[in-house]
């Protein structure tokens, strides 16, 4: 299995895209440690252990460098190595720009940008040649954007710059750094957007999103996990500083009228 005996930290792995990544990594033989601040963390850990997987988890707020350092030290004490880091944890709160308070802005910046920075800075010193970092950016901010997404789009674009800068710094240590740019994946975040919409039928909102995607569906968390597993594996040994879109073709149409 391509991740056999690899030790991987996945932030935000208790649900959504992170959980998809965790499940696929476990399938390919990795030992996975989840860093998450969600109350669902323990339930996720127990469920995966019941399936026979080797998985640990630590309640970590990635805005807190000390908590991150403490958790990383525990990982090293138990596993003596860290081969893979997936910076998946992120937040999105859609708000019109002029209504975006400093608190909402900083909520995005502190978790999506600073959190990714904090965890990477704590983990990189323990990584050796052949290690890999996978950052979760987005098509939002790097390729497209909608109203209400200024804070989110800014942070996700920043993750792409972070990926390239870090890749250049650690390449001589044999560490690769790449980014995944998801489009619409069926996650609790998407479900939340649908529920927060003006529609009385959130399911219809998801159906409407799917109709606008050339593949006519949202992606699955497992499909995203497969891409992350590839980038983390030795199969991607000549890839670094790059970004990979997984969006069912949603950024493909040149105009909204294509196909009409």
By annotation, the residues acting in catalysis are 152
How far apart CA 228 and CA 35 sit, in angstroms, is 17
Instruction: List the structure tokens of 171.
Output: 């390449």
H or E element in which residue 105 lies: helix 102-108
How far apart CA 145 and CA 203 sit, in angstroms, is 22
Say which residues have a Cβ less than 8 Å from residue 69's Cβ, sequence separation at least 6. 122
CA 114 vs CA 63, 105, 158: distances in Å: 7, 12, 10
DSSP string for 49-61: HHTT--EEEEE--
Radius of gyration over alpha carbons of the chain, in Å?
Answer: 18
How far apart CA 11 and CA 7 sit, in angstroms, is 13
Angle at 189 between CA 188 and CA 195, to 5 degrees: 85
How far apart CA 30 and CA 6 sit, in angstroms, is 5
Pairing state of beta strands 31-36 and 132-136? Answer: unpaired
């Amino acid at each position: 299995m391509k991740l056999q005996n690899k030790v991987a930290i996945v932030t935000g792995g208790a649900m959504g895209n992170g959980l998809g990544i965790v499940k696929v990594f476990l399938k390919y033989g990795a030992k996975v440690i989840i860093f998450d601040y969600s109350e669902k963390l323990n339930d996720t850990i127990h469920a995966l252990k019941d399936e026979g997987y080797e998985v640990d988890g630590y309640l970590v707020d990635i805005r807190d460098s000390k908590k991150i350092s403490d958790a990383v030290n525990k990982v090293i004490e138990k596993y003596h190595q860290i081969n893979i880091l997936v910076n998946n944890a992120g937040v999105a709160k859609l708000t019109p720009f002029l209504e975006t308070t400093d608190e909402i802005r900083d909520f995005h910046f502190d978790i999506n940008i600073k959190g990714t920075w904090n965890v990477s800075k704590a983990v990189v010193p323990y990584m050796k040649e052949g290690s890999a970092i996978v950052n979760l950016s987005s098509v939002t901010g790097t390729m497209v954007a909608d109203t209400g997404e200024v804070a989110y789009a800014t942070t996700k674009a920043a993750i792409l710059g972070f990926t390239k800068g870090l890749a250049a710094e650690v390449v001589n240590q044999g560490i690769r750094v790449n980014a995944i740019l998801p489009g619409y994946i069926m996650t609790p975040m998407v479900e939340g957007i649908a529920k927060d919409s003006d529609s009385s039928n959130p399911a219809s909102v998801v159906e409407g999103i799917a109709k606008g995607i050339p593949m006519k569906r949202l992606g699955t968390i497992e499909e995203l996990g497969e891409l992350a597993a590839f980038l983390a594996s030795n199969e991607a040994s000549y890839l670094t500083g790059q970004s990979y879109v997984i969006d069912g073709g949603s950024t493909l149409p040149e105009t909204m009228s294509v196909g009409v």
